[in-house]
C-alpha cells in the first residue's frame, strides 16, 4: 500500500440518555496528515489488516445513486478534480452527520480517510473510510496520530472501501450499457452484526447497497478457489478435486429455499483440503483472500446454479461403446481452438491436444 492522502475528522455524537437533553451532533475537522509519518501509516495499515478477515467479513455492493448531493456525488466531484481531498472528506462528514441526527443510540468516533494505491491488486486506486472508537491504543493530538497500537476487531466499528479504478470502469460500462466485468466489484463495507439500528447510519450515509449479483459472486468464488490452490505448491494437487466439490456444493445450495451460502462455509470446505501439517499456517486464510480485492466475495450470497454447474465436471459414460469421459466443462467447445471439440455435424468428439505422457501410453497400447 502506498498512502497518497489521509485525514482524520471526528463526529461528536452521544447516545440519548433518559431525562437528559442530547447535545446536537457536530464535526471536529482535522487537517491533511503527513503520510510519511509512521503513526499515520500504522493506523491505516492496522485497519487494512483486519478488513475482510475471518469474523470481520465485508459485504459487497454498489452505490445508491439517488439524491443530488449524496456521497457518490461528492466522490464524483473529487475524482473530477472539482473537490480537493480535504473538501471531499468534509462533504462526506456532512453526509454522516445528517444520517446520524435521528438515530438516538448512535455514537460518533474518529473517521479515518485514506486515499492509497494498492500494490497487491494491480496498483488500483483505492479509498478507505473507517470509524474508529476512542479506545486505548490510539492517541491523537488535534486529530493527528501520535501513538498507534494494532487496531483490534472491536475498534473497527464501521468501514467502507472503494476501488476507485473499478468504480470508474463501472461508470464507463454503465454509460456504454455493457455487461459489467464480474471481477470488477468496486464497493465493500464492514458493519457490525449486532446493534444495526444504532450503527447503520454509516452505511446509509455512504450510500452502500448490498447488491452483488448472484452470478458475479459465484464466479468470483470459483476464481478465488482456483487461485488459492494454484498459488501454493503444496496445495496445487488438490485444486481440481476441491473446485469440483465446492462447485457441486454450491449447485446443491442453489436449489434450497433460501439458497444462501456464507463465505465462512466456503472457507471451511477449503480448509478441509489443507494437509494437517499446513493447518496452522493456512487454515482460515481463504476467507481473507476471497473477501478482499480482486474477488470481493460477499459475507453472504446466493449461489448461481448455472455458474456452479459450469464449474463442475461433465461426466460422460458410453458403456455400449466401451468408454467413459470425465472432463471440465470449460475446456469443451465447438471450435478447433477448444481443447475438446464437439463436431455436431459428424457426431464426433475431438481431443485437439494430448499430453506427451498420454500419447506415449496410447502408442504403447497400440503395439
Q: Which residues constitute the domain of residue 337?
A: 314-366
Contact 43, 156 (CB under 8 A): no
Q: What is the pTM of this model?
A: 0.67
- Domain ends where: 167, 182, 209? 209
- Domain ends where: 309, 338, 355? 309
Instruction: Give 17-44 pLDDT, tens digit per residue.
Output: 666 666 788 899 999 999 999 889 888 8
Rounded to the nearest angstrom, the gap between the alpha carbon of residue 30 and the centroid of all alpha carbons in its chain is 29
**Do 238 and 159 have their domain in common?**
no
**Residue 139, helix vs strand vs coil:** strand
Neighbours of 307 (CB within 10 A): 22
**115 is written with which cell numbers?**
486515499
Distance CA 17, CA 174 (A): 46
Distance CA 292, CA 312 (A): 25
How many residues make up the chain in this entry?
A: 367
**Do 36 and 154 have their domain in common?**
yes
**Do 147 and 296 have their domain in common?**
no
Instruction: Give 134-170 pLDDT, tens digit per residue.
Output: 664 577 778 887 766 655 545 566 888 999 998 998 8
Residue 198: pLDDT over 70: no
Task: Please report how many Cα atoms fall inside a 13 Å half-sphere around the Cα of residue 217, on the Cβ side.
Answer: 27
**Do 129 and 102 have their domain in common?**
yes
**Residue 52, helix vs strand vs coil:** coil
| Greatest mean pLDDT among 23-27, 100-104, 117-121, 165-169 | 165-169
Residue 194: pLDDT over 50: no
**Do 192 and 251 have their domain in common?**
no
**Do 138 and 285 have their domain in common?**
no
**Do 184 and 268 have their domain in common?**
no
Please provide residue 293's backbone torsions phi and psi, each rounded to the nearest 5 degrees: -60, 145
**144 is written with which cell numbers?**
493527528
- Domain ends where: 182, 209, 236? 209
Distance CA 236, CA 212 (A): 29
**Do 161 and 292 have their domain in common?**
no
Q: Are strands 340-343 and 348-351 parallel, antiparallel or unpaired?
A: antiparallel
**Do 8 and 103 have their domain in common?**
yes
**Do 168 and 68 have their domain in common?**
yes
Residue 204 vs residues 99, 103, 149, 199, 272: alpha-carbon distances, Å:
7, 12, 29, 9, 38
Amino acid at each position: 500500500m502506498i498512502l497518497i492522502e489521509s485525514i482524520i475528522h471526528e463526529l461528536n455524537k452521544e447516545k440519548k440518555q433518559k431525562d437528559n437533553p442530547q447535545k446536537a451532533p457536530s464535526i471536529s475537522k482535522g487537517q491533511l496528515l503527513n503520510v510519511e509519518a509512521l503513526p499515520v501509516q500504522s493506523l491505516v495499515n492496522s485497519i487494512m489488516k483486519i478488513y475482510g478477515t475471518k469474523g470481520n467479513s465485508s459485504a459487497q455492493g454498489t452505490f445508491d445513486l439517488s439524491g443530488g448531493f449524496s456521497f457518490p456525488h461528492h466522490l464524483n466531484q473529487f475524482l473530477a478534480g472539482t473537490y480537493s481531498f480535504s473538501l471531499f472528506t468534509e462533504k462526506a462528514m456532512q453526509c454522516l452527520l445528517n444520517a446520524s441526527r435521528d438515530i438516538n443510540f448512535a455514537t460518533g468516533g474518529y473517521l479515518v480517510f485514506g486515499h492509497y494505491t494498492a500494490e497487491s491488486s494491480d496498483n488500483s486506486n483505492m479509498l478507505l473510510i473507517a470509524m474508529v472508537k476512542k479506545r486505548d491504543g490510539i492517541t491523537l493530538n488535534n486529530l493527528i496520530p501520535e501513538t498507534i497500537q494494532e487496531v483490534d476487531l472491536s475498534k473497527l466499528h464501521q468501514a467502507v472501501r472503494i476501488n476507485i479504478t473499478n468504480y470508474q470502469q463501472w461508470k464507463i460500462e454503465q454509460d456504454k450499457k455493457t455487461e459489467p466485468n464480474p471481477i470488477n466489484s468496486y464497493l465493500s463495507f464492514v458493519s457490525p452484526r449486532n446493534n444495526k439500528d444504532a450503527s447503520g447510519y454509516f452505511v446509509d450515509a455512504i450510500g452502500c447497497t448490498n447488491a452483488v449479483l448472484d452470478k458475479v459472486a459465484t464466479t468470483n468464488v470459483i476464481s478465488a478457489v482456483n487461485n488459492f490452490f494454484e498459488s501454493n505448491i503444496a496445495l496445487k494437487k488438490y485444486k481440481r478435486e476441491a473446485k469440483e466439490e465446492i462447485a457441486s456444493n454450491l449447485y446443491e445450495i442453489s436449489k434450497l429455499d433460501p439458497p444462501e451460502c456464507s463465505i465462512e462455509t466456503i472457507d471451511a470446505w477449503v480448509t478441509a483440503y489443507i494437509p494437517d501439517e499446513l493447518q496452522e499456517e493456512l487454515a482460515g486464510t481463504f476467507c481473507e483472500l476471497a473477501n478482499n480485492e480482486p474477488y470481493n466475495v460477499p459475507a453472504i450470497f446466493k449461489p448461481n446454479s448455472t455458474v456452479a454447474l459450469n464449474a463442475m465436471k461433465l461426466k460422460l459414460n458410453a458403456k455400449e461403446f466401451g468408454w467413459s469421459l470425465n472432463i471440465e466443462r470449460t475446456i469443451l467447445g465447438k471450435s478447433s481452438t477448444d481443447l475438446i471439440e464437439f463436431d455436431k455435424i459428424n457426431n464426433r468428439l475431438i481431443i485437439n491436444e494430448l499430453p506427451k505422457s498420454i500419447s506415449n501410453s496410447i502408442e504403447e497400447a497400440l503395439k
